Amino acid sequence: MAKTTRTPLFDVGGPLRQRTALQGSDTRGDGVPGGSTLRAFVVLETAARMRRALSVSELSALADVPKPTMHRLVRQLEGDGLLQRGVGGRLRGPGPRLVDFALDVLRYWAETAPRQAVLQALSASVGETCNLGVMDGNAVVYIERVESKWPFGLKFEPGSRVPLHCTSMGKLFLSEMPPGKRHELLQVSTLHRYTENTICDADALEREATEIKKRGYSIDDQEFLAGVVCLAVPVRDSDGTLCAALAISAPAARLSIGKALQQLPFMMLTADKLGEQFSRKHLAEPAEE
């Protein structure tokens, strides 16, 4: 029997909103909002932004953290290699571990820039929003997104999680799973009804996944968001392994399923380009011992 409910599980706003939520949260312990993790980040952010040596008292005032708390934070961050002291005991700035982290972040963005360029070209060609996602547990996580130029777009963000059973990318991943594993996943999953079109029956989803596997693309016909259609195609590496899903999405009033299917050739070409990038990254990584 299908398991249905109208209670949403997924926060489509994504993790990029979490910092704002933390800053607005109640104070904890020493009166500083956000908890110890955000306090440490604020200290590191302040030390890096000032670009000069700071005393603990100055850092305490700039970061709005009580001095006793700041002394504890500085000792911990210095011990972890995230801050370092200069002459006279003043904090010189970011430590070697934090510098390495910053360089890793820059390298990450350098690697994602080509993907963004490919998605931007597709979005310009089809005139709609383009998404790139990967499977994470029983959800799809957006790793790249390019919004269309139209107003009133869908305000998702990289890092947003959406369900498998009612999204074009999610159903594409389901279609690639071994039948036994897919059956097990669907049997234990709560298949929430998001719209009137949501498929909430596990057997019906099995049939849908089989059809998607045959035709090579997946459709979300207003199954996750009312009035929104999506089309997804697989992104495969040089070994033919599914590594991501590429999708376009738009209001149904502007993009019918028929019009969306006309974009398949452009999407397939884009998926091939993205697959080459995933393959190059894989080849560049050292083999595990």
pLDDT at 252 over 70: yes
The pLDDT of 221-229, averaged and rounded, is: 95
* Distance separating alpha carbons of residues 91 and 28, to the nearest angstrom: 26
Q: Is pLDDT above 60 for 9?
A: no
Tell me the C-alpha distance between 96 and 33, whole Å. Answer: 28
CB 219 within 8 A of CB 231: yes
Which of the listed ranges 6-20, 107-121, 142-156, 206-220 does the model predict with the highest average pLDDT?
206-220
Q: What's the confidence (pLDDT) of residue 56?
A: 83
Alpha-carbon torsion 139, 157, 228, 259, what sign?
negative
